[in-house]
Amino acid sequence: MLLPLAELSKMEKAVVKHYLDDRIATRLIALGLKPQQALRVERFSPMGDAIYIRYGSSQMAVRRSEALQVMVEAI
Protein backbone atom coordinates (compact mmCIF):
# COMPACT_ATOMS: atom_id res chain seq x y z
CA MET A 1 0.00 0.00 0.00
CA LEU A 2 1.58 3.24 -1.13
CA LEU A 3 1.26 6.48 0.76
CA PRO A 4 3.08 9.82 0.89
CA LEU A 5 6.02 10.01 3.25
CA ALA A 6 4.30 12.95 4.92
CA GLU A 7 1.53 10.69 6.18
CA LEU A 8 3.70 8.28 8.11
CA SER A 9 3.42 8.40 11.87
CA LYS A 10 6.23 8.76 14.35
CA MET A 11 8.49 5.70 14.50
CA GLU A 12 6.90 4.18 11.41
CA LYS A 13 9.23 2.48 8.93
CA ALA A 14 8.90 2.52 5.17
CA VAL A 15 10.69 2.03 1.87
CA VAL A 16 10.90 4.70 -0.83
CA LYS A 17 9.06 3.78 -4.00
CA HIS A 18 8.87 6.79 -6.30
CA TYR A 19 8.53 10.56 -6.40
CA LEU A 20 5.80 12.88 -7.63
CA ASP A 21 8.00 15.94 -8.12
CA ASP A 22 11.17 16.00 -10.16
CA ARG A 23 13.07 18.73 -8.36
CA ILE A 24 12.47 17.01 -5.04
CA ALA A 25 13.48 13.69 -6.57
CA THR A 26 16.88 14.90 -7.73
CA ARG A 27 17.68 16.47 -4.41
CA LEU A 28 16.56 13.52 -2.27
CA ILE A 29 18.35 10.99 -4.43
CA ALA A 30 21.56 12.97 -4.28
CA LEU A 31 21.15 12.99 -0.50
CA GLY A 32 20.79 9.22 -0.58
CA LEU A 33 17.04 8.86 -0.09
CA LYS A 34 16.65 6.86 -3.27
CA PRO A 35 14.13 4.28 -4.43
CA GLN A 36 14.28 1.06 -2.35
CA GLN A 37 15.92 2.96 0.50
CA ALA A 38 14.54 2.02 3.92
CA LEU A 39 13.76 4.84 6.32
CA ARG A 40 12.16 5.58 9.66
CA VAL A 41 10.29 8.69 10.78
CA GLU A 42 11.93 9.76 14.03
CA ARG A 43 9.80 12.73 15.01
CA PHE A 44 8.16 15.96 13.87
CA SER A 45 9.19 19.56 14.47
CA PRO A 46 7.41 21.51 17.24
CA MET A 47 4.85 22.91 14.84
CA GLY A 48 4.57 19.73 12.82
CA ASP A 49 5.78 21.33 9.61
CA ALA A 50 9.03 19.38 9.28
CA ILE A 51 9.95 15.72 9.61
CA TYR A 52 13.13 14.13 10.99
CA ILE A 53 13.92 10.99 9.04
CA ARG A 54 16.57 8.39 9.68
CA TYR A 55 17.80 6.31 6.73
CA GLY A 56 20.92 4.23 6.21
CA SER A 57 23.72 5.78 8.23
CA SER A 58 22.27 9.29 7.94
CA GLN A 59 19.43 11.49 9.04
CA MET A 60 17.71 14.39 7.35
CA ALA A 61 15.04 17.02 7.77
CA VAL A 62 12.32 17.57 5.16
CA ARG A 63 9.26 19.78 5.04
CA ARG A 64 5.87 18.17 5.13
CA SER A 65 5.19 19.77 1.74
CA GLU A 66 8.30 18.11 0.34
CA ALA A 67 7.45 14.76 1.94
CA LEU A 68 4.06 14.80 0.25
CA GLN A 69 5.89 14.32 -3.04
CA VAL A 70 7.55 11.06 -1.97
CA MET A 71 5.56 7.85 -2.23
CA VAL A 72 6.60 5.09 0.15
CA GLU A 73 5.46 1.65 1.20
CA ALA A 74 5.11 1.08 4.91
CA ILE A 75 6.95 -1.91 6.35
Partner 1 sequence: MPRIALLGNPNSGKSTLFNALTGLSQRIGNFPGVTVDKKVGVTTIPDLGKVELIDFPGCYSLYPNSRDERVVVDTLIYPDSAVYPDMVIYVVDVKHLERHLLLATQLLDLQIPLVIALNMSDQVEGLSIDEEVLAQALSVPVVSISARYGEGVDQLKRLVADTVRADHLIAKPFYTIQGEELQVYQQVALQAGATNAYAGKVIAHHHTWLSHLNDDQRSRISTLLEQVDFNNVAGQVEETMTRYDQYGAILQGMHHQLDREDSFTTTIDRLITHRFFGPVLFFLILFLMFQAIYSWATGPMDWIDEAFAQLSAGVSAVMPDAWYTSLLVDGLIAGCGGVVIFIPQIAILFFLVSVLEETGYMSRAVFMFDGLMQKVGLNGRSIVALVSSGACAIPAIMSTRTISNERERLITILVSPLISCSARIPVYVVLVAFVVPAGKVGVFDQQGLVFMGLYLLGIVAALVIAFLLKLVLPQREPSQLMMELPRYQLPSMKNVWTTVKERVKAFIVEAGKVIMVISVILWVLASYGPAGQMQAAEAEVEQRVEQESLSSEQAADLLASKKLEASYAGIIGKSIEPVIRPLGFDWKIGIALITSFAAREVFVGTMATIYSVGSTDDELSLRDRMRTEVREDTGQPFYDLATALSLLIFYVFAMQCMSTLAVTYKETQSWVWPAVQLFYMTGLAYIGSLCVYQLLS
Distance CA 13, CA 36 (A): 12
Nearer to partner 1, 2 or 31 (CB): 31
Q: Is 56 left (phi over 0), alpha (psi -120 to 50) or beta?
A: left
- Position among 3, 6, 15, 50 found at the interface with partner 1 (CB under 8 A): 50
Asked if 56 is part of the footprint of partner 1 (rule: CB under 8 A), the reply reads: yes
Asked if 30 is part of the footprint of partner 1 (rule: CB under 8 A), the reply reads: yes
Distance of CA 64 to the CA centre of its chain: 9
Q: Where do contacts with partner 1 occur on this chain (CB under 8 A)? A: 19, 22-32, 34-35, 42-50, 52, 54, 56-63, 66
